Amino acid sequence: MEDLKNILNHTFKLSEDISISVRGLLLVAVVIFFTSIILNVFRRVLTRHLPDEDKTKFKILFGYGKWIVYLIILLITFNAIGVNVTAVFAASAALLIGVGLALQTLFQDIIAGVLILVDQTIHVGDIIEIDGKVGRVDEIKLRTTRAVTIDNRVLILPHHLYLTNSLYNWTQNGSTTRESVLVGVAYGSDVQLVKKLLLQAAVSNELVMKHPVPYVFFTNFGDSALEFKLVFTLNDSFQGAIPKSEIRFEIDRLFRENNISIPFPQRDIHIKSGK
């Protein structure tokens, strides 16, 4: 019994101002254990009536909030068992500052992740574009978003990118998106025939939606061509490169059959000879 008492009273001296006994360490462990149980019960009470999707989001946020509670409880317990908390802060101040600077990007990721979960900026299944990268969202974590690109590569997006770049959500207003193909024809071409052929190329593609109907814009009198824009609607913009390519093939075929040429830029060069 005396040996056990001696073990419990054994003190670890970390510095001149900081020391803690084995009894104190056991007390800290017990307090943290019971705090964890209470927090888990509290979380289950708060989330028992929430949908499963919201439960998952709340659990993520609550998980990070628990560390703050643990820190507060830990400091209170240290103070109660006689550890000089002020000395602990003084000894670790430089370390904490260095860690804070090193983890600055991590904190930005977490803050942006909380904002995404709260304001519902993106959801799993959405097609997003950020910094020129496009992917279908597969998983949203608190620090990163996992997306799959059209060529089946996994794209990991740290959330701090959302704070410094414009995020385009292609499908937030629905699964359909408007796509377009630009084409120029030679001056002197029958523009009504061009319009008819462009619409024919779009309507004939099975991936293009019939409603709303495709339409053609006569956008400009260019330097070398009359410029048109064919606009159509797709139900799966993630695969948009495929129908757009097929439509371009069809436009080229129809133009060749109807003797409509697609010009290339030309320049006249005048050479002046010296005396």
Give residue 95's domain range: 2-102
Instruction: Assess whether 189 and 157 both reside in one domain.
Output: no
CA count, 13 A, side-chain hemisphere, 215: 7
- C-alpha–C-alpha distance, residues 247 and 206, integer Å: 10
Instruction: Assess whether 96 and 181 both reside in one domain.
Output: no
Instruction: Assess whether 81 and 7 both reside in one domain.
Output: yes
**DSSP class of 208:** B
- C-alpha–C-alpha distance, residues 261 and 225, integer Å: 10
- C-alpha–C-alpha distance, residues 158 and 147, integer Å: 11
In a domain, 112, yes or no: no
Instruction: Assess whether 219 and 159 both reside in one domain.
Output: no
pTM: predicted TM-score of the whole model, two decimal places:
0.55
Lowest average pLDDT, out of 120-129, 134-143, 247-256, 266-275, goes to 266-275
Instruction: Assess whether 165 and 182 both reside in one domain.
Output: no
Helix (H, G, I), strand (E, B) or coil at 12: strand
Q: How many domains does the chain have?
A: 3
Average pLDDT over residues 105-129: 78
Backbone angles phi, psi at 146, to 5 degrees: -105, 125
Contact 22, 9 (CB under 8 A): yes
In a domain, 222, yes or no: yes
Instruction: Write out pLDDT tens, residues 35-64.
Output: 888 888 887 887 776 666 666 666 766 776
In a domain, 116, yes or no: no
Environment class of residue 39 by beta-carbon count within 10 Å: exposed (0-12), middle (13-18) or buried (19+)? middle
In a domain, 58, yes or no: yes
In a domain, 274, yes or no: no
Contacts of 79 (CB under 8 A, 6+ apart): 85
